[in-house]
């Protein structure tokens, strides 16, 4: 039996140990973060065996559907589990299988975005790509812009993803938001978006959440340390106000309250009331979809982690609200594998993103 493994690829992460009985023990590499987080992604290659057996050292670092896997660079799927605390898995290796990737979640890097955008970028009248800034490791951080058409003043929306590098499911939702904006350009919808706020972290396979001394989503409202957050603040300073600002995140990998799409609500008041009205609109629009958004799932201010953290810098949405940049500024959390127990596929995320943008258009037109 011969199998090799690696993590030196875009989005790769993991500490892998080859056990004497032929199994592979996998755990997430934290890389110096302040909190224990779950992301890992490992590739096996030169596979000369009929089955691949893995043991995940921390089963709480798995979704309710177990690990995600990809064969020969194809579509990602979920392995599934037979019990909530299952930690050991076996993959049958068929003839012609050269590589198998396993991950705690379905990953999303700049290569995924590039593949989705290729058809659009060839047409100058749809998506325009600019460079927000250069990352600390010299990567060009993309800023995507969908221009509105027509004679009326456009509804201007700003969307961001990956303030925390591992939160990959948010990007599939962003694709849906872009799709709506492209299709509805003649209706006066303009979307600017930063798909990867922590681009280096995404490509390097970092956790991103809880970085030292603080992560990207605590780098606003003061002298920031990250090029991307500095550039976003400068962009907002140089731009007119947006009608809506949406920051897409993903929560912890499992447990019921993390396994549903929801909005993180601010303190009770005018803004919270406005977000609640938008949330009710989104619930009606998505009824019957796999990701059927429920207004009742929203995280109230003061519950669980949704509290003011005065010792750290402002979040992105906190900064937007403090500076009156938008009348509708919200954080949305996107689950990784299931929504209310129903398995998610990539088109389901995109449909939610499409619904979000359509509801933004309806809400602001009113």
- Write out the DSSP string of 240-303: PPPSEEEEEE---SSSGGGSS-EEE--SSSHHHHHHHHHHHHHHHHHTTSSS---GGGSB-TTS
Fold of 2-103: Immunoglobulin-like (2.60.40)
Q: Which two tokens stand for residue 194?
A: 């930063």
pTM: 0.96
For range 199-209, the mean pLDDT = 98
- Residue pair 314/220 in contact (Cβ under 8 Å)? The answer is yes
Beta carbons of 226 and 136 less than 8 angstroms apart: yes
- Beta bridge pairs of residue 332: 248, 263
Overall average pLDDT of the 235-249 stretch: 95
| Between 29 and 121, residue with greater pLDDT | 29
The answer to whether 59 and 87 have CB atoms below 8 angstroms apart is yes
Average pLDDT over every residue of 253-261: 92
Q: Which two tokens stand for residue 75?
A: 């579509």
Pairwise CA distance, residues 207 & 218, whole Å: 15
pLDDT tens column, 319-349:
999 999 999 999 999 999 999 999 999 999 9
pLDDT-based confidence at residue 308 (cuts at 50, 70, 90): confident
Place of tokens 């590739």: 43
Mean pLDDT over 143-166 rounds to 89
pLDDT at position 82 is 87
Which pLDDT score is estimated for 151? 62
What six digits make up the tokens of 265? 């609500």
- Using pLDDT thresholds of 50, 70 and 90, give the confidence band for residue 84: confident
Under CATH, which number does the domain 110-365 receive? 3.40.630.10
Across 30-63, b (16+ Cβ under 10 Å) vs e yields beebeeebbbbbbbbeebeeeebebebeebebbb
pLDDT of res. 201: 98
Q: Domain boundaries in the chain?
A: 2-103, 110-365
């Amino acid at each position: 039996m011969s199998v090799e493994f690696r993590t030196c690829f875009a989005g790769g992460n993991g500490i892998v140990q080859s056990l004497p009985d032929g199994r592979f023990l996998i755990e997430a590499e934290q890389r110096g973060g302040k909190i224990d987080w779950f992301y890992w992604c490992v590739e096996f290659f030169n596979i000369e065996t009929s089955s691949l057996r893995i043991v995940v050292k921390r089963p709480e670092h798995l979704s309710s559907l177990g690990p995600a896997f990809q064969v020969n660079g194809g579509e990602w799927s979920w392995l599934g589990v037979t019990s909530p605390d299952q930690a050991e898995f076996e993959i049958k290796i068929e003839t012609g299988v050269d590589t198998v990737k396993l991950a705690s979640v379905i990953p999303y890097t700049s290569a995924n975005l590039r593949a989705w955008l290729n058809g659009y970028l060839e047409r100058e009248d749809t998506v325009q790509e600019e460079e927000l800034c250069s990352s600390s490791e010299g990567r060009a951080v993309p800023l995507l812009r969908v221009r509105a058409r027509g004679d009326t003043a456009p509804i201007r929306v700003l969307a961001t993803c990956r303030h925390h590098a591992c939160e990959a499911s948010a990007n599939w939702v962003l694709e849906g938001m872009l799709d709506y904006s492209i299709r509805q350009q003649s209706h006066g919808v303009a979307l600017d978006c930063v798909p990867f706020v922590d681009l280096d972290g995404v490509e390097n396979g970092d956790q991103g959440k809880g970085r030292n001394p603080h992560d990207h989503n605590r780098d606003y409202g003061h002298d920031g340390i990250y090029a991307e957050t500095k550039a976003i603040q400068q962009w907002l300073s140089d731009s007119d106000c947006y009608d809506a600002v949406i920051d897409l995140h993903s929560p912890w990998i499992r447990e019921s309250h993390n396994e549903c799409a929801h909005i993180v609500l601010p303190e009770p008041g005018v803004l919270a009331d406005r977000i609640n009205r938008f949330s009710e609109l989104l619930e009606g629009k998505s009824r019957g979809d796999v990701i059927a958004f429920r207004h009742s799932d929203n995280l109230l201010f003061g519950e669980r982690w949704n509290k003011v953290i005065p010792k750290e810098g402002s979040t992105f949405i906190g900064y937007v609200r403090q500076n009156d940049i938008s009348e509708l500024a919200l954080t949305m959390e996107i689950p990784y594998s299931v929504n209310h127990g129903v398995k998610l596929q990539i088109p389901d995320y995109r449909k939610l993103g499409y619904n979000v943008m359509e509801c933004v258009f309806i809400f602001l037109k009113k």
